[in-house]
Amino acid sequence: MSNYYNMPALPTEKSPKVPITVDDREVMVPGDTNLLEALQTVGIETPHICYHPYLPVSGNCRQCMVEVDNPRGMGLAIACYTPVRPGMKVATPVTSPRVKNARKAVSEFMLVNHPLDCPICDKAGECSLQENYITSGQNESRLSGAAGKQYHGTPENEFKDTKGQVRGGKRLNIGPRVILDEERCVQCDRCVRFMRHVAHDEQLQLVSRGDHTTIATFPGEKLDHPYDLCVTDVCPVGALTGKHFRFEQRVWMLSRTPSISMDDSLGANIWIDHNNGFVWRLMPRCNPEVNRSWLSNDSRLAYLQFRENRLLNTDKGISESASAVSKMLSSSAGKIAAVLGGSCTLEDAFAVKELQNAFPNRVEVFVGSLDTAGTPDGIAKSGDPVANRKGFALLGFEISAEELCKRAGEFETLVTVHADLWGANASLAAALSAIPNRIALSAFENATTQASTVRLGVNHWSEVSGTMVNCNGFLQKLNAAPVSPSENLMPAFRVLGILSGKPVSSASEAFLKLREQVPVFAEFTHESVRSAGVKLNGVSV
Amino acid sequence: MVRQIKQKPMNWIERLYIFEAFRGLFTTMKHYLRGFFRYETLPTVPYPEMKPEILPTYRAKHRLMLRPDGTPRCVACFMCAAACPANCIYIEADSSLDGRIEKKPSRFEIDHLVCVFCGLCVEACPVDAIRMDTCDTSYVHRTREDFIANLETLTQWNPNDYSQNDVLSQAAPGGIKNQQALESWKLRVY
């Protein structure tokens, strides 16, 4: 089966271009990759089930058949495991009925015992099997109704359904977060390869042979790994589904907003899938330079807390409360300590800088929220909970919040922005209670808002546009999903703008002001930062 | 093309008006008296006392079909909600208690104030769980909320009101084929 050595070589910008003939048409494709990826660069999609760009090539599904010239003439070959050779001739279904037939036959074979579950399957709508069937499958079934679908998996999971058909392997609880449906499985072994080669913890295996093959864990073991929900992404069908999203929504009803996960300094790229003003799931968004196709369970399940314990400004309008605080700040002359929490965007940090300019020599800025940093796991997490630490450093904010706890006596006012100091380390933060005015800008009601004298509710990072710089120096853009629980909430940078008397109306406007002051960002605007992010030049990693 | 219709000019008796007025009154009296003595020949229906005859093919109020054990046939696939042009169907899904069935609706609501009675939900249903053959066309409620039919009201129908040839209706609890259907169903889930 698969091993490390057949990890697919993906085309890059530096790939040499070689000429090949596709359907009697000469095209230039990257020369150091496989045929499937090469055809993709010229806009030819090849249906595939088992191939995944970030998993070793297994080549077991045979769905990506193309015809390739060989010494005996044109012959069928799988595109995912055929390297590009300069001058090769390739035939796709457009010109070759043989390829069309082969793909159709493969699709038909895969569906022989695949249950007709699509109406109730959580994967329906984003299922490779469905898509391939539409593009290259057979339009009418050749299976006799009397034979029906058969289940050949584990005998103890077998049952007769209400029509008397043999079915089996439904809703098997293989782990705390994942549910297995043996019947829907097409044995592509993507999940096995993910656990083996990416998670480096071989918890899933293919057991038995032939059409009795099923996915299973070791006896008595459960699928339990910090990245185990990624197997539900790589699963091309609805065999492995996450319990958090099971039966919640149908996928075609969701709208997607590309954003960045702000709970880790790698800044994993995500899709926020929302509908009717609620976030229903977070999905990894492929970025080859950052998180590839992976997302940790922590980041993925973070959305479950997005709506809980929200700090809503119930008494009066947020702008009025903020102006009142602004008057309070300008009437006194004591020092102000501002603490930037982990999920602050660059715009929030810049708004704090504006606060510093508005009250000269009075504002000192601290970074972090007393959380302890972990270690990078090499997949999609750097371990540092302060997501935008690099961005803060570019704006000149580097003193940690621990320092503030030691020097609490110097300050008269404390402004925390998305920083839960008391919640992270109550014993250290206790010293901060000596500061007479404590203003908390927070999305949630937490220990810090409890300990504060003024509470201003602001938007969560899933509801704001903005930018962040991840630990590898990539400038990445967050987009606001329309899921704000109340109209009386603002992004933190707008509230801070009112505090400093320099109100801004949007994140792109704030970024334009920011780039005037910080030369690293001079060449960018909000609109020019694409979804894949930009590597900043001259930023040490 | 403009087509001009020339009216016949009135003669002098018509222009006198008084005779024409009595002729009109005579027509009114004719219908009035017909209501007293030859009631059945009237073309209208005296609505609350007498209901018009409605065919089962008419798209009337919805109902949810039932399995032999009394649970709704609906598998909460959202196909009806996806097909609905008025967006009036709201569904929440849950795991089914019957191990052989994957999904069930925990909430199924149709807002009859929004519904346009197009019947696309019936067409879309893959398991024949929703039908519009109740022949019930009256919607009289006190509040707007009462117009929202839920899982409970949608499943409250009597198999005896439906044709004996309607296998699916008669297999529901209370129907003449329920016992037979339950035997092949085997498992009872409450």
Class of domain A4-110: alpha beta
CB contact residues (below 8 A), chain A span 154-183, against chain B: 159-162, 164, 167, 170-171
Q: Residues of chain A with pLDDT > 90: what percent?
A: 73
The interaxial angle of helices A492-499 and A507-517, nearest 10 deg, is 60
Q: Domain segments of chain A: what residues?
A: 4-110, 118-140+150-253, 318-535
CB A441 within 8 A of CB A495: yes
3-state helix/strand/coil string of A46-74: CCCCCCCCCCCCCCCCCCCEEEEEECCEE
Residue A2 in this model has a pLDDT that exceeds 50: no
Interface test with A, best of B100, B128, B182 (most A CBs within 10 A): B100
Q: What is the mean pLDDT of residues A486-496?
A: 93
For residue A167, what is the nearest residue in chain B, using CA coordinates?
B100
CB A387 within 8 A of CB A299: no
Asked if the A318-535 domain carries CATH number 3.40.50.740, the reply is yes
For residue B69, what is the nearest residue in chain A, using CA coordinates?
A162
The Cα–Cα gap between A58 and A276 comes to 40
Dig out the tokens for A420 from the structure.
């839960």
The whole-angstrom distance between B109's CA and the closest CA on chain A is: 16
pLDDT in tens, A58-72: 999 999 999 999 999
Dig out the tokens for A218 from the structure.
């070791």
* Residue A1: band (very low, low, confident or very high) from pLDDT cuts 50, 70, 90: very low
Tell me whether residues A162 and B126 touch, CB distance under 8 A.
no
Q: Domain segments of chain B: what residues?
A: 63-178
Partners of B185 on chain A (C-beta within 8 Å) are 162
Pick B185's closest partner by Cβ from A159, A162, A253: A162
Q: In what order do the strands lie in the sheet with A269-275?
A: A255-260, A269-275, A278-284
The whole-angstrom distance between A267's CA and the closest CA on chain B is: 33
Partners of A160 on chain B (C-beta within 8 Å) are 100
CB A228 within 8 A of CB A161: no
**Looking at residue B189, what is its pLDDT?**
46
The Cα–Cα gap between A303 and A305 comes to 5
A467 φ, ψ to 5°?
A: -130, 160
CB A222 within 8 A of CB A176: yes
The whole-angstrom distance between A309's CA and the closest CA on chain B is: 24
Tell me whether residues B93 and A247 touch, CB distance under 8 A.
yes
* Residue B160: band (very low, low, confident or very high) from pLDDT cuts 50, 70, 90: very high
DSSP class of residue B149 equals: E
Pick A120's closest partner by Cβ from B67, B100, B103: B103
Is the CA virtual torsion A88, A89, A91, A94 positive or negative? positive
β-strand pairing of B148-149 with B103-111: antiparallel
Residue A316 in this model has a pLDDT that exceeds 80: no
Closest CA to A384 of A540, A298, A291, A264: A264
Strand partners, A172: A180
How is A401-448 classified by DSSP, letter by letter? HHHHHHTGGG-SEEEEES--HHHH-HHHHGGGGGSSEEEEEESB--HH
Average pLDDT over chain B, rounded to an integer: 91
CB A533 within 8 A of CB A475: yes
Closest CA to A21 of A56, A62, A67, A52: A67
The Cα–Cα gap between A441 and A454 comes to 9
For residue B186, what is the nearest residue in chain A, using CA coordinates?
A162
**Looking at residue B167, what is its pLDDT?**
92
ipTM reported for the complex, 2 dp: 0.83
By the CB < 8 Å criterion, does A304 face chain B? no
Tell me whether residues B95 and A250 touch, CB distance under 8 A.
no
**Looking at residue A5, what is its pLDDT?**
67
Residue A229 in this model has a pLDDT that exceeds 60: yes
Class of domain A118-140+150-253: alpha beta
DSSP class of residue A195 equals: I
Q: How many CB pairs under 8 A join A and B?
A: 38
Dig out the tokens for B133 from the structure.
């053959």
| Neighbour tally for A300: CB within 10 Å | 27
Cα angle A341-A303-A285, degrees, rounded to a multiple of 5: 90
Tell me whether residues B79 and A252 touch, CB distance under 8 A.
no
Residue A315 in this model has a pLDDT that exceeds 80: no
For residue B94, what is the nearest residue in chain A, using CA coordinates?
A247
Q: What is the mean pLDDT of residues B34-62?
A: 88
Using CA atoms, how far residue A367 sits from A335, A352, A384, A427, B45, in Å, is 17, 11, 12, 18, 80
Pick B102's closest partner by Cβ from A120, A248, A252: A120
Is the CA virtual torsion A514, A515, A518, A520 positive or negative? positive
pLDDT in tens, A61-114: 999 999 999 999 999 999 999 999 999 999 999 999 999 999 999 999 888 889
Half-sphere exposure of A488 (CA within 13 A, CB side): 14
Asked if the B63-178 domain carries CATH number 3.40.50.300, the reply is no
The Cα–Cα gap between A432 and A269 comes to 35
**Residues of B30-55 as b/e, b for ≥16 C-beta within 10 angstroms?**
eeeeeeeeeeeeeeeeeeeeeeeeee
